Each structure stands twice: as C-alpha cells, then as structure tokens.
Structure 1
Amino acid sequence: MEEEAAPEREGEWARHWQYPGVPGLDLLQARYVRHSFSRHSHEGFVVGAVRRGIEDVFLPEGTVRARPGTVVMINPEVPHSAKAGVPEGWVYSTLYPSSQLVATIAEETTTLRGTAGFAETIVEDPDTARLVHEVHRAAEAGNALAADSVLRVTVATLLRRHGRSLPARKPLAAGARTAAAAKQLLEERMADPPSLEELAQAVGVGPFALLRAFKAAYGLPPHTWLTDARVRRARLLLDAGTTLAEAAVAVGFTDQPHLNRHFTRIVGVPPGAYRRERARTYKTAGGSPA
C-alpha cells in the first residue's frame, strides 16, 4: 500500500501499541531526541526502520548506526541499548513480532531448520524498510488484511535474505548452571531480591564468579537483568488491568515514579501511556484486559 507519509510532529513523541488485527505483534512508532534506551532484551524479535535521523544501537558485537534505508533486526534475548546518533534524534517504526509468529512465517516460507532468526543485525534494504512503515500505516488505518499481509511479507523477506538457524541449546556448563540458578532465585524473589553476596552464597560461588557467569550467560549483570525482568513483569500486569501503583509494588520498584523511570527507558513510553493503549486495544477488539 503506497500512501503519502503524514507530516512529522515536532518534539519527542511515541506510541507503543497492539493492533487486534495482527495477533502476536507489538508496534512502536516514535521520534526520540533526548530519550535513550537502557540495556535490555526482548522475549521476541525486533525489526526497526528509521525514517529520519540516526539511531545508535549498542549490541554485544558493537554499535550499529541505523539511518533511513536500513533495517535493524535483533533476535530474542539479545541485550541492547540505543540513543540518538545525531542532535535532531531519530524517527522510526519498530515491529516486535513474537517468537511464535516468526517461527510460523519461517516454517511456511523458508527452508531454515530449527529455530529461525537473523544472521545480521543491520542491513541496507530500503524496500523492506518501506514495508516496515507500511505495516504501521495499515494498522493505524484499521486495515487488518493489509497489516497482516505486509507484516508476513516483511518478515519472510528478511528471513530469506538475512536469516539463519539459531544455535541449538546445549547442556549447561557449570558457569551457566550457576547463572540459571541465580536467575531463578531473582525471578522468585523479584519484589525482595537478595544482595549480590546473598545471591552468590545461595548458588555456592563467590560474588565475582557469579557476576562473570551471569553476564556470560545473559549478557547483563544481575542487577541490570533484574530491572529488565521487573519491567517485563510489569507489562504483563498492566496488560491484565493492574494499576500502576499496584504493578510497581508487585515487581519490587520502590514507588510509581521508580517504575515510570525504568519502564520508559526500556519500553520507550511511560507505563500510563502503555496501559491506555492496551485498554484501547482491548476495547477495539471487543474484549477485556482482565
């Protein structure tokens, strides 16, 4: 669908939402100037296309500069952060397809074996970058047929051109088992986490050994991973209709402003705006967030 782009709004703005016509997909459209994303990861995939300006994305293998005509692709659980690469910031459209949705598309349209993912983080691909923007335009217009169709073409095209089979999970080595045990304990005690020393004692290693093992396994130190995990759980609670104050307490943030700060730096919008969009999504779909 070829449509003229709407005039750009001035200042910073962002919308993070779901479109009922395309299950398994979150969408973010934004202009950021001063905003920066703290280090985090996603359970599903990230596919982003910059329309104006430059976004610097910091990944384990280095920094990529996303500019118009490029597509950024990030596999699940890959830690990353981002900020403006130029003083005027960047305007972009991002798709967050679930792992299940990508797997379904890969099975139908590619010969990739096992778990399909992306071999590259950034590519020059103006045609597919335009498709990313078109998914947003179709969803905003309420055109479910076009949004779903263009999304599937976008993901299938990227997988065929830049896809690979992600490495199979191997039996955990000693350090990885230590990290997994620590992660499980943090998940269980999210609202009242142990200190680093207590956590290390619980899994039977020293604090520095735990720091090394945890970062090697998850790409983040335990405290950064915990903040990311708290925001993920807060999103689920907000999806279910929980109030902001209740969600903040439930995941272990000291108060609602604490939730606001970390949520915004990871998700890209404040939790109140996120919850309002979810409520509108459920209303549009004829359902309930509860």
Structure 2
Amino acid sequence: MAGATGPAEWARHWQYAELPDLDLLRARYIRHTFPRHSHEGYVFGAVTQGVEDVELPGGTVHAGPGSVVMINPEVPHTARAGVPEGWVYATLYPSAQAVNAIAADMTKLRGTVGFTETSVADPYAARLIGEVHRAAEEGNALAADSVLRVLVTRLLTRHGSVLPAPGPRAAGARDAARARAVLESRMSEPPTLEALATELGTSPFALLRAFKKQYGMPPHTWLTDARVRRARRMLDAGTAPAAAAAAVGFTDQPHLNRHFTRIVGVPPGAYQRERARTYKTGPGVPG
C-alpha cells in the first residue's frame, strides 16, 4: 500500500470465532506509537519488515525480522517504530487461561507461566505466528488451533518458567491496590489524586509513587488503559462507540477514538466492524 508520499499505515485487529480466547493483529505502523499500557493476556509478536522498539520495565528491545516479542500479562510497555520506514508485524494475543492450559497439557510447567525473555531471534516461531494468522484467515480452525499449540509449547519450552506466587503486600502496594479498586468502581467519575489519597489515608506523593511501582504507570495513565479495556468489552457486546465512551468516562466519542486507536492500534469503529463480521459470518472472511 504505497503512494506518492511512501507506504501507508494499515491494521486489522480481529478475532477468529473458532478460537475465542485469541485476538489477532496484523499491521504496518510508521508514525503510530503505542502509549504505556498492558494486556490482560499474553502478547506474541513477529516482525516481518522494519524494526519495532518495545520499551519494557527492563529496558527497550529492538525487534526486527525473524524475532519474536513475548510479553506477560499486565506488564506495562510502549511500542514505536525503530526505523523511519516503521515496522510490519503479526501479533497474537492469547488469553492467560489459554496459554496456561497449553502449558499444563504440553509441558512440565505447572502454575501460572511466564516468559523470562522478551525478545528472541527465532525465525521458526515467527513463521508459526504468521501461519496461525493465515489459517484463521482461511477459516481453517484445525490448523489454527494446532499451530498455536505448537508455537506456545515451543516458546514455553525454550523461554518459559513458572511465575513466582505473589508474597505479602507492603503498605504501599496495598494502598495501590485499593486505589486501583476505587478507580475501577468510579471509572466514569474518578476522584482527584488528592481526594483519592485522603480517602485511603495516605499522601498524594506516596500514593503516586506506590501506584507507579506496583503497576508501572501513574494512576491517570492506568485509568486511561482501563477505560479502553472496558470499552473494548462493551464494543464486543455490541454497544455503540458513543455510548461506550460515555459509560467509561471519556468526554465524547472523539476522546475515546483517540485513546482507543493509540492503545489498540485501530479505531473503535473499525475494531467493532471486524468483531461483528467475525461473529456474524464466522470463518472464511477474507482479509
């Protein structure tokens, strides 16, 4: 998709009806940048052209062709182009339940699994990610499910481990968790940082520091991410974007559009159309 000004950005974020615990994204991004956010499930991304820079708590990884990026649930990260021409990639977003079920069935890992590396050079695994996409796009449920299991088993065997169980929470972590619960329950009308800190019996600075330490982002950034997550679930259920925007606390639909597009990678209208097309027509929808 090129024009007089060079290649254009494009993206498709969708779900294959036969694999409901998996989201898929194929895209080319040049100027688009993903702000700090996290996912409820895992991320497996394979770059086929260009370079993607992914900033994680441990540093920035530069993912080029043949590399696979693996991100555990709830790990905050950003993403942007690492070269002027951007990057092209295929990404799988399997749920935590799906990955842990495959781990229990196909590996010796027991418990909640995670990945010890965030970017590895593994052209074969990168090809498998592309094959899952192709099988889903062709409506081949048997192949899509089978290749996904081969991929997850390979990544877990080579780079996976059991995540340690969380220990007792310090006072700051408890305050952060309580603040998160308040923000979730009052998403459409959240308190100020000062009011929130007062309600929890702490100071704004202490709460801000504790929240960033616990969740990798300040409360206002976390809230935007949480609003987009809830809006996604509402769009999946058929809620109109304008109604979803109001329900989660965005000022209007353009406000939702801006943040949703930055975090998810496609506008909410395009996202909902792909979901509706997938659910209505099922497998075999052309890309």
Q: Give me the TM-score of the superposition, normalised by structure 2.
A: 0.95
Q: Give the C-alpha shift of residue 113 in structure 1.
A: 2.6
Q: Distance in 2 between matches of 1:248 and 1:187?
A: 15
Give, as a single letter, the amino acid of the residue that structure 1 aligns with 2:59.
G
Q: Give the C-alpha shift of residue 282 in structure 1.
A: 1.2
The residue number in structure 2 matching 1:199 is: 196
Query: Equivalent of 1:211, from 208, 214, 225?
Result: 208
Q: Give the C-alpha shift of residue 281 in structure 1.
A: 1.4
Report if aligned partners of 2:2, 2:8 keep a CA contact under 8 Å in 1. no
1:1-290 alignment runs, 5 A limit: 10-285=7-282
Q: Which runs of 5+ in 2 are unaligned?
A: none
Report if aligned partners of 2:9, 2:30 keep a CA contact under 8 Å in 1. yes
Q: State the secondary structure of the residue aligned to 2:41.
A: coil
Q: Give the C-alpha shift of residue 284 in structure 1.
A: 2.3
Give, as a single letter, the amino acid of the residue that structure 2 aligns with 1:68.
P
Q: Distance in 2 between matches of 1:113 and 1:148?
A: 21
Q: Which runs of 5+ in 1 are unaligned?
A: 1-6
Q: Distance in 2 between matches of 1:60 and 1:148?
A: 31
The residue number in structure 2 matching 1:4 is: none
Q: Distance in 1 between matches of 2:268 and 2:163?
A: 32
Give, as a single letter, the amino acid of the residue that structure 1 aligns with 2:277.
R
The residue number in structure 2 matching 1:3 is: none
Which contiguous aligned blocks of 4+ residues in structure 1 show a shift greater than 2 angstroms?
7-10
Deviations 1:42-84 (A, max 9, x none): 0000000000000000000000001001100000000000000
Q: What CA RMSD, in Å, does the superposition of the two structures yield over aligned residues?
A: 1.3
Q: State the secondary structure of the residue aligned to 2:31.
A: coil
Report if aligned partners of 1:20, 1:284 keep a CA contact under 8 Å in 2. no
Q: State the secondary structure of the residue aligned to 1:38.
A: strand
Q: Give the C-alpha shift of residue 169 in structure 1.
A: 1.8
Q: Give the C-alpha shift of residue 8 in structure 1.
A: 8.9
Give, as a single letter, the amino acid of the residue that structure 2 aligns with 1:266.
I
Deviations 1:101-153 (A, max 9, x none): 00110001111132111111000111111101111111111111111111110
Q: Distance in 2 between matches of 1:129 and 1:227?
A: 31
Q: Give the C-alpha shift of residue 167 in structure 1.
A: 1.4
Q: Give the C-alpha shift of residue 23 in structure 1.
A: 2.3
Q: Give the C-alpha shift of residue 191 in structure 1.
A: 0.2
Report if aligned partners of 2:92, 2:129 keep a CA contact under 8 Å in 1. yes
